[in-house]
Amino acid sequence: MGGKKAVSLVLVSIVVAWTVARGVEGNTWCVASSSASYGALKSGLDFACSHGADCGPIRPGGSCFNPNTIQNHASYAFDSYYQRKGKAPGSCSFGGAATIAVLDPVGTLLLSEKNLCGYHTKSE
């Protein structure tokens, strides 16, 4: 019985590693970590917006202001910064407040209203 569990674990590990490798080679997105504190998200958001992210759409009156949550605004800014930096290593950290997504986050975090706001799917 233990041998079958070990083989299953190895197979699952291989599939996960292959999926992650494929995502890193293809499209990746920088999103706010669900475990990040408000302060960490706010700090990362301020940094991204003052260092090249396109934050106009998430400002009051902007086309992507709603939903008006720190998680959504931070994800938008983090990904804009990450894409503008060419997905460079280290450009999706924000003090641990962000993480790289290998699965397309569109429709799961920011696009709850399907308003086409959100993640950049190609380098700007």
pLDDT score at 74: 95
**pTM of this prediction?**
0.70
Which DSSP symbol is given to 58? Answer: G
The pLDDT of 13-23, averaged and rounded, is: 44
The count of residues in the chain is 124
pLDDT score at 121: 40
Of the chain, the percentage scoring pLDDT greater than 70 comes to 62
How many CB atoms are located within 10 Å of the residue 84 CB? 18
pLDDT score at 102: 85
pLDDT score at 27: 85
Average pLDDT over all residues of the chain = 76
Give the contacts of 114 (CB within 8 A, at least 6 positions apart). Answer: 107
Q: Could you tell me the residue ranges of all domains in the chain?
A: 27-101
The pLDDT of 89-100, averaged and rounded, is: 95
Of 43-47, 71-75, 104-108, 113-117, which has the strongest mean pLDDT? 43-47
The pLDDT of 44-57, averaged and rounded, is: 96
